[in-house]
Amino acid sequence: MNRWLLHRTAKPLLFVLWSLPVVWLFWAAWNDQLGANPAEALIRSLGDWTLRALVLVLLVTPLRVMAGWPALARLRRMLGLFVFFYASLHLLAYAWFDMGFEWREVLADLAKRPFILVGFLCWVLLLLMAGTSFNRAIRALGAARWRLLHRSVYAVACLAVLHFFWMRSGKNDFAEVGVYAVLLALLLGWRVWERWWPKGHLGR
């Protein structure tokens, strides 16, 4: 597996695979294949793909450690940028189809509906991480500050699930929210266990 992950085609293949959902969504929207409310379907589908990419980003380190695939780390940056890409399209679709690019209405909506505000905070954190995901930014910030900033991904994960929960609460539809909440709780729990359990165990 490490040999395949280090192959020169691994990154291009990952790029193509994660581009396919947005290509399909816009093709479906253009050809009126998104149901009775295509705008809502597009907004929600882009949000779903943001969450899926976020789960994969958080899955990279556990897989790298437990499966012994250190080369998997070289794909994490691209996956992280796809999280930002889909989150940006999600925000853009909301601003366009729901609000008609009426920015005063968007700001009023941020103040009026907490789940919109939480979603926007997620996007801001993702913007900061995407804007500092390159080697020059690491050198400029310093490794310690860069790592601290990019640990915001944990906050993004929690806020994203809260955003999804509040969005679905109006329809009392929590099944899918529960799946993402459990997955992200397991992944974040693994990080906490990996960081603190060995020290606590040795101290007994």
- Tens digits of residue pLDDT in 119-159: 999 999 999 999 999 888 888 999 899 989 998 999 999 99
Position 167 scores a pLDDT of 86
**Which residues of the chain carry a pLDDT beneath 70?**
170-172, 198-204
CA 85 to chain centre: 9
Q: Both tokens of residue 6?
A: 């280090």
- The position carrying tokens 């050198």 is 139
Position 199 scores a pLDDT of 53
Position 204 scores a pLDDT of 37
Q: Which long-range contacts (CB under 8 A, 24 or more apart) does 150-156 make?
A: 152/125, 152/128, 153/54, 153/57, 153/58, 153/80, 153/125, 153/129, 154/188, 154/191, 155/125, 156/54, 156/122, 156/125, 156/126, 156/129
Identity of the amino acid at 145: R
Pick from 134, 9, 140, 30: nearest CA to 84: 134
Position 195 scores a pLDDT of 75
Sequence spans of domains, the chain: 47-62+76-202
Whole-model pTM: value is 0.91
